[in-house]
Amino acid sequence: MSLPLPYETQERELVVLGSRFIAVMMPLDDLSRLGECLSWIGERYPKATHYPYAAKVEAKEKISDDGEPSRSTGIPLLSLIHQKGVDHILLCVVRYFGGTKLGLSRLTRTYREAAGLLLNEGIFAEEIEVEERTISLSYGDFERLKRKIEESDIMMENVEYGISVTLTLLGNDKMISAFLETAPSAQLISSKKKKTKRRIIR
């Protein structure tokens, strides 16, 4: 079973002695995208004093103290990721210095506290393999299908309205087939297996 991963980009903020610590958690599918994600954080929070981080994608890991004392931030952040059992994640804590030095132990503790708030309160997902079917169907069948889908685990995406309705269904193969048996006008356009994220409900 795969480890949980962040459902979406999420943030939490902690203020200690005038310094702002903003924890940012992002899904990360490959370490090659690390620079792109860090650039996004830098644009969102410009001119911060430090941007230390930890990233984990399966067996590959990367950390940075980004100017904070050596081993004071990157390693503790990675340790939190391991404790939480999360994968495919970038965890960065942005710091705006408020003028008062915290001391090494309190500095590390504060970084961990900001990141811990996010990891404990954040929304996570699991990666699952589903059937993806793109279909077209009549408006009448679409309305009936939509009501049934709202009460199921089937996901509906990319709805387009024209002479008929075109949409994509994601979910269990047998369940999708059972749904489509109740929609006589449905015509299959394409079908394939796909990996997607499903939110973990606590």
Say how many CA atoms lie within 13 Å of 22 toward its Cβ.
18
pLDDT at position 201, please? 56
Do 161 and 179 share a domain, yes or no? yes
Report which residue type is found at 22.
I
**Residue 148 sits in the same domain as residue 74:** no
Is there a single domain that holds both residue 24 and residue 64? yes
Do residues 15 and 115 share a domain?
Answer: yes
Mark whether 29 and 93 lie in a shared domain: yes
Residue 146: both structure tokens together = 């939509």
Low-confidence ranges of the chain (pLDDT < 50): none
152/72 same-domain check:
no
Q: What is the pLDDT of residue 158?
A: 92
For residues 152 and 175, the answer to whether their CB atoms sit within 8 Å is yes
Tokens of 26: 């992002």
Same-domain status, 55 and 68: yes
User: Coil, strand, or helix at residue 157?
Assistant: strand
Which residue in 58, 53, 66, 65 sits closest to 22, CA to CA?
53
Are 145 and 171 part of one and the same domain? yes
Where on the phi/psi map is residue 81: left (φ > 0), alpha (ψ -120 to 50), or beta?
A: alpha
Alpha-carbon dihedral sign for residues 186, 192, 196, 199: positive
CB 94, CB 22: distance < 8 Å: yes
Name the one residue in this structure whose structure tokens are 């079973």.
1
Q: Which domain holds residue 172?
A: 126-199
Domain boundary among 81, 101, 122: 122
The secondary element (H helix, E strand) that includes residue 168 is strand 165-171
pTM: 0.74
Q: Which of 75, 97, 122 is the last residue of a domain?
A: 122
Q: How many domains does the chain have?
A: 2
Select from 92, 122, 152 the last residue of a domain.
122
